[in-house]
Amino acid sequence: MNKYSIILGNLGNTCDRFLSTGYKDQLPKAEMIRQAAGIPGVEGVELVGTWDVTPKNVDEVGSLLAKHGLACSSIIPDHFSQKRWGKGAFTSRDPSIRAQALDETMIAAEMARTLKCGLVNLWPGQDGYDYVLQSDFRAERRWTIEAVAKAAKAYPDIRFSLEYKPKEPRTHSTWARAADTLLVAKETGMPNVGVTIDTGHSLSGGENMAEAAVILSDFGKKLFHMHFNDNYRSWDDDMIVGSVHFAEFVELMFWLKEVGYEGWYSMDQYPYREDGEAALRASVEFVQGVEAMLDAAAIAELREIVAAGDPIRSTRWIRSRLFRK
């Protein structure tokens, strides 16, 4: 069975750039943890550093998780929502800012140890550029690789997973696609550095999610973590999983089984106006439904269909799962 998780803050008052105060009231952390535990199948939560967990409250948060039978599936350092990262975190031209970005990574890893969590998910959203001739591509990637490698060497028991996204908040992100992020992970030379696929980021980047999973798995077993959400491909809408791309998610789940992915299936969405708990529950239920659909017989059928490369058979198979006989 898959391990299901959610990002804790998705249950709260998610804000957009037009109403920075959000459209809902913020829930207390204890209530969000209680709601997470109430979603059938959810065994873990991801915590964002400074938002959800700090060195001062890490023991308190750990007690709350234990009370509700939840694991910490990952910690995400806040490399994106603070003023100091406005011109980059790992890629800042200011060496003191780069040092702070590394410090935040180390703090997250230390908290992960405290919470018996094996993964730090890195999404330095402000790393990138907005204009032509603005980025020193060589230097910025070198700084990034050096920083991630230092963290990985300092915490060999923690896996560091690099989450890519083509754009936003910058017009171009440093880690933009699966393949170039894989190169960064491999260049660190560290076995505990890999890559996170956020399905919405992959979709908006024009990737095939399943193909990205296979690439990361086949070239060094570097698929470390999964974030699930959906969108219309033009933007990272962070919608309920399966609300737009049913067939593509079936293909992704099939290939995650084929490559032997054993990490968390973590929901990451921004329910700006809808009820957060209900939206996340819907996402978990969708992924669970696809998981149940892909039993041994279905996997055998899909292996034959993929081997034959027959789109008539593949679309017929999808229809057979959608329409009642």
pLDDT tens digits for range 180-197: 999 999 999 999 999 999
251 and 177 within one domain: yes
240 and 99 within one domain: yes
216 and 185 within one domain: yes
Average pLDDT over residues 147-168: 98
- What's the CA gap between 106 and 100, in Å, rounded? 10
Give the chain's mean pLDDT: 97
Average pLDDT over residues 144-157: 98
277 and 148 within one domain: yes
- What's the CA gap between 85 and 122, in Å, rounded? 14
318 and 263 within one domain: no
Domain assignment of residue 185, given as a range: 3-293
Q: What is the pLDDT of residue 121?
A: 98
Please report, for the domain that includes residue 279, its CATH number: 3.20.20.150
- Please answer whether residues 112 and 90 qualify as being in contact, where contact means their C-beta atoms are separated by less than 8 angstroms: no
Number of compact structural domains in the chain: 2
Q: What is the pLDDT of residue 2?
A: 93
236 and 140 within one domain: yes
pLDDT tens digits for range 55-68: 999 999 999 999 99
136 and 50 within one domain: yes
pLDDT tens digits for range 121-146: 999 999 999 999 999 999 999 999 99
- Of the chain, the percentage scoring pLDDT greater than 90 comes to 95
317 and 184 within one domain: no
